[in-house]
Structure 1
Amino acid sequence: MAEEEKEEESVPVLPWMRNPVDVSLSEECQLHLLPFLDPRLRVALQKMGISSLFPVQVAVWQETIGPGAFERDLCINSPTGSGKTLAYALPIVQVLSTRAVNCLRALVVLPTRDLALQVKEVFDAIAPAVGLSVGLAVGQSSIADEISNLVRRPKHEAGICYDPEGPPPELQSAVDILVATPGRLMDHINSTKGFTLEHLCYLVVDETDRLLREAYQSWLPTVLRITEANDGGLSNTRDFSLPIFGSLKTIRRCGIERGFKGRSYPRLVKMVLSATLTRDPSKLAQLNLHHPLFLTAGKRRYRFPEKLESYKLICESKLKPIYLVSLLQSLGGEKCIVFTSSVESTHRLCTLLNFFTDLQLKIKEYSGLQRQSVRSKTLKAFREGDVQVLVSSDAMTRGMDVEGVKNVVNYNMPPYIKTYIHRAGRTARAGQSGRCFTLLRKEEVKRFKKLLQKADNNSCPVYSVPSSSIESLRTTYTSALEKLKEVVESEASKKHKIGMKPLQARDQKKNAKSRFLWLSDTNTS
């Protein structure tokens, strides 16, 4: 990540990124004033509690349903919480609803299961209103169940009999829109009979930076190769104005250049989105974009949510957990996410906090080491208010939207401005206010100031907790550390019993004491 940021600072800006569309110049638009919006979608949005669209949503609508009409691929760089998911979901659902074609026509790819589940919820809220179905393909779930939901045999029509000894009836897609993670998408491409991307019209790459940074089984070149190959080596050209008879392949028409005007969506349209969109030409080249249009919020590359307040909390090095506990007490039970530097420190910090019995807060761990079912249950409890504090690794950083999060705490100073932006973006979403606190040792203050200056943010006052609160927690802290040490040693012993190599188990137990001290003196980088 560090090398990536340094490289991006030195690379030339692509010509099409030099004069972007400033989405912040668009104004919120009431649903009844939004041109061409399907009345059924208006009702579905109102049921979601939405009465108007945010600026980025209005800007994307104008470039897709309005005069833009999907003639160019879109690259959208907009702050966290600004409404990017609905910005692409709404126009895609609107366009697909105008043509009754039973095949997979839109694919949305996201880097994590939790983010995919969240995006599917948005599509589920609007797509059924216009007769479209949405599928999900993520890891840590039954692939057999996914297959049954994604692919089906055609229904037997009256008067038509299928030869039991002949070839089986052609399998068909059971969904119009698929939300997927890269690994599980590749599983279906390689192994699922009847799963095809040959009719794909829209490809959304959400959290583009992360998806381009990690290979994920070469999912992107595979998808592009499939869609291009299905057009006989030429670009994707689909004329959905043709009548639908027999095989789904009759909807395909080949042989004209991408971007040809005069036919209905003659190419695979791509939409790429991030709050910190990469500007590296070599990375963006992987997407094979068609006359891309760059939409961004203002001239600054890195932007915080409009109503975010940032604070720094200066800590004594060995008492950092006490400062966190005192901070949580001062927040009065408001919904809060505490970010750490790794899944291991997430587990230890959450364990330690729960030994502060007088804290009277429900605190849960949320990290990539947990099973999907555990994370989903924890996230549900957090959303419903049964859990007030979530201690999280960066599995929670990108894109996750939990209503009512008033505070974000960086237990460890983020090493990069991108990380800070994505973490802080879990609060102050959708026009709401929120606060981001960063716990710092004295030697980190100057480096943190330089970090924020990359986003032109010089306003980060010091937040103080009462010294009396720190002193009153010392005895409890000492006891909590002893209990944490016992837990760490116990977990090392259990790993040995379930089959860990003896040398690994010995080293873990030997280092248990040093690792528990590692938390207490906050050297968590």
Structure 2
Amino acid sequence: MGEQKLKTVPVLPWMRSPVDVNLFEECPLHLLPCLDSRLKVALQNMGISSLFPVQVAVWQEAIGPGAFERDLCIKSPTGSGKTLAYALPIVQMLSTRAVKCLRALVVLPTRDLAFQVKEVFAAIAPAVGLSVGLAVGQSSIADEISELINRPKLEAGICYDPEDLSPELQSSVDILVATPGRLMDHINNTKGFTLEHLCYLVVDETDRMLREAYQSWLPTMLQLTRSNDESFYPRALDVIPSTFNSLKTIRRFGVERGFKGKPSPRLVKMVLSATLTQDPSKLVQLDLHHPLFLTTGQKRYQFPEKLESYKLICESKLKPMYLVALLQNLGGEKCIVFTSSVESTHRLCTLLNFFDDLQIKIMEYSGLQRQSVRSKTLKAFREGDIQVLVSSDAMTRGMDVEGVRNVINYDMPAYIKTYIHRAGRTARAGQTGRCFTLLNEDGVRRFTKLLQKADNKSCPVYSIPSSSVESLRSIYTSALEKLKERVGLETSRKHKIGFKSSRARKENERNHHSKK
């Protein structure tokens, strides 16, 4: 047998000597150095009494001796607390200077993840007088502009230069959480929206953000945030009369983007992912400054510490029956069932709800739904009104739902990264959790190879008594007939809508030509 050729992956020099997050221990809030007392209270109100290792490690490099001298590149398993790891030091740093302008930006790939991150910031930022905005495209851009941009009123009794009587546009938020597409909308179209004062940039789920172009958001944004040659102090105060308000001064001369006494320092960047890429050609796009790599151990792919993985062997034609039997075995525990596509998600959820007397509340969650529907479904799932969520991979990245005990791969993921992000919806924050993958005999070998990429060799078979499966056969046959009928009705409805749209379009074209 010839020697197997190992695929060598080029690694940047700074990634070869990482800081091992595992060397840090949980730290009670009262022992965390330099923590603002107001933030301590806010964290306690969130039920947080100590910080996880990754949060302590980042705090050390941001607020502690590191003092944000280097950009931070963080790879840590799902559920380890990465969001608070960057939110807390950013809020603390911004609280030291009372200037109202956009100074921190967090960019994420999906609306749902952006909502979640915004909630974390919103729980701590107001405690130190900071405001947080959201730009994700859920509402109209006009509504977002009214939330993000403020027009200050002219103060009575002050003499202004006629040139300065036009309404000033100022940021209403200190921190903005955004998706890249809507961020570009504001950059290109929103008057008063500026990144010139930005101090901190966070790129969450970095590997996905670098894989998709999103209207070239990254090069555009980096170009706009190059350090301004103008500094705020002392030249601005020498020129501007004391009667001018601070907003006028900020607008005309810019804000000192500094820390540690430096007038115009670089933009500090933090990039994070549970499956952070090592591809130099991708990482170089971030223009990182002397980056420091924080990671948990030397493995490229890592599972949550208390995750148990199982494979469930079944016949392909009977897979829905095995899934129902598994859900019954789990006794109503909170579960997420992942499929390979939004269409599969819709059909599987519809089928499961045709199983009579299941006594389990099941809903779907996918990109086919409107954002308002997804938000309502997620809220019900968080509150326990729904026990099972059938989802496409819209939920794989970063979503944190407390109490998810089980993840079920109804369709085996094609990539180890997808498996890791799916499995990471459970066993979060030190809790236990299980990940089940339904497989036919032919899929077992491929699945084993998939797990080997993460050095995971422990994935026992989960057995379900054949009697439990067979007892569902008649119900399954009935459910399948109902599904066929439902699919036929939905297909017919789509055809009618498509026909009406086509007819209306042709009518508009005829009217247009007749007017000519």
Work out whether the TM-score is over 0.5: yes
Alignment partner of 1:217: what SS? coil
Match of 1:152, as an amino acid?
A: N
1:187-229 Cα deviation digits (max 9, x unpaired): 111111111111000000000011110000111111001112x
- Does residue 140 of structure 2 align to residue 142 of structure 1? yes
- 1:11 CA drift (Å): 3.3
Match of 2:276, as an amino acid?
A: L
Alignment partner of 1:267: what SS? coil
- Cα pair distance change 1:245/1:174, threshold 3 Å: closer
1:250 to 253, 261, 264: 253
User: Is the contact between residue 72 and residue 271 of structure 2 (CA under 8 Å) also seen in structure 1?
Assistant: yes
Residue of structure 1 equivalent to 2:74: 76
- 1:446 CA drift (Å): 1.1
- 1:155 CA drift (Å): 3.2
Match of 2:407, as an amino acid?
A: V
Residue of structure 2 equivalent to 1:284: 283
- 1:160 CA drift (Å): 2.8
Alignment partner of 1:492: what SS? helix
- Cα pair distance change 1:40/1:349, threshold 3 Å: same
Q: Distance in 2 between matches of 1:161 and 1:374?
A: 52
- Cα pair distance change 1:501/1:76, threshold 3 Å: farther
- Cα pair distance change 1:475/1:22, threshold 3 Å: same
Q: Distance in 1 between matches of 2:16 and 2:84?
A: 26
User: Is the contact between residue 81 and residue 401 of structure 1 (CA under 8 Å) also seen in structure 2?
Assistant: yes
- Cα pair distance change 1:45/1:441, threshold 3 Å: same
User: Is the contact between residue 308 and residue 428 of structure 1 (CA under 8 Å) also seen in structure 2?
Assistant: yes
Alignment partner of 1:179: what SS? strand
Residue of structure 2 equivalent to 1:323: 322
- Does residue 228 of structure 2 align to residue 231 of structure 1? yes
Alignment partner of 1:391: what SS? strand
User: Is the contact between residue 107 and residue 178 of structure 1 (CA under 8 Å) also seen in structure 2?
Assistant: yes
Match of 1:185, as an amino acid?
A: L
- RMSD in angstroms over aligned alpha carbons? 2.3
Residue of structure 2 equivalent to 1:178: 176
- Cα pair distance change 1:349/1:164, threshold 3 Å: farther
Q: How does 1:279-358 map to 2 (within 5 A)?
A: 279-358=278-357
| TM-score normalised to structure 1 length | 0.89
| TM-score normalised to structure 2 length | 0.91
Q: Distance in 2 between matches of 1:35 and 1:28?
A: 13
Q: Distance in 1 between matches of 2:273 and 2:153?
A: 41
- Does residue 10 of structure 2 align to residue 19 of structure 1? no
- Cα pair distance change 1:143/1:245, threshold 3 Å: closer
Alignment partner of 1:91: what SS? helix
Q: Distance in 2 between matches of 1:480 and 1:220?
A: 48
Moved over 6 A (4+): 161-166, 236-243
Match of 1:449, as an amino acid?
A: T
- Cα pair distance change 1:318/1:262, threshold 3 Å: same
- Cα pair distance change 1:319/1:161, threshold 3 Å: farther
1:219 to 199, 217, 220: 217
User: Is the contact between residue 340 and residue 392 of structure 1 (CA under 8 Å) also seen in structure 2?
Assistant: yes
Residue of structure 1 equivalent to 2:120: 122
Alignment partner of 2:216: what SS? helix
User: Which protein is bigger by CA-based radius of gyration?
Assistant: 2
Alignment partner of 2:482: what SS? helix
Residue of structure 2 equivalent to 1:46: 44
- Cα pair distance change 1:303/1:179, threshold 3 Å: same
Percent identity reads 81
How many pairs align?
488
- 1:500 CA drift (Å): 5.0
Residue of structure 2 equivalent to 1:507: none
Match of 2:405, as an amino acid?
A: K
User: Is the contact between residue 62 and residue 68 of structure 1 (CA under 8 Å) also seen in structure 2?
Assistant: yes
User: Is the contact between residue 322 and residue 473 of structure 1 (CA under 8 Å) also seen in structure 2?
Assistant: yes
Match of 2:116, as an amino acid?
A: Q
User: Is the contact between residue 238 and residue 267 of structure 1 (CA under 8 Å) also seen in structure 2?
Assistant: no
1:11-54 Cα deviation digits (max 9, x unpaired): 31110000100001100000000000000000000000000000
Runs (5+) with no aligned partner, structure 1: 1-7, 504-525
- Cα pair distance change 1:370/1:502, threshold 3 Å: closer
Q: How does 1:50-129 map to 2 (within 5 A)?
A: 50-129=48-127
User: Is the contact between residue 197 and residue 256 of structure 2 (CA under 8 Å) also seen in structure 1?
Assistant: no
- 1:154 CA drift (Å): 1.6
User: Is the contact between residue 231 and residue 253 of structure 2 (CA under 8 Å) also seen in structure 1?
Assistant: no
